Amino acid sequence: MEGMNDLEVDGTPFSVLMDQAVKLKSSSGKVLRKRYDSYPRYVQESMFHDENMKSLRSLEFEERIQATEEINEVGKMLFVQSQFLEASIQYQNALRFSFFLLFFHLFFL
């Protein structure tokens, strides 16, 4: 039985084809990666929300603003209780979603 390294496609070893595919994919993503890396951290994180944040996207605009304020209030409550890590996570979520709302409002409404 042939191993993956022994396979050939039109006379070209499979391993050579895979190396070429990886190089092609890497080079095509460099421009996008460079742009992504230039964004501030909160913008990068606003591009890929967790499941809870995704569910907020289905709300109407005014409901989204209210949800963002509620997330921020949870952060304040946790901060007062000296739960600083949990509070910072809530603040980050509020900031991420606020940025998403601003971006959406500016470019899609």
SS3 83: coil
Residue 62: which of 107, 91, 105 has the closest Cα? 105
Query: Would the pLDDT of 30 be above 50?
Result: yes
HSE of 19 in the Cβ direction (CA atoms, 13 Å)?
Answer: 6
What pLDDT is recorded for position 35?
80
| Averaged pLDDT of the chain | 78
Contact 75, 94 (CB under 8 A): yes
41-59 tens-digit pLDDT:
766 665 555 666 667 777 7
64-93 tens-digit pLDDT:
888 889 988 999 999 999 999 888 888 888
Residue 56: which of 48, 65, 47 has the closest Cα? 65
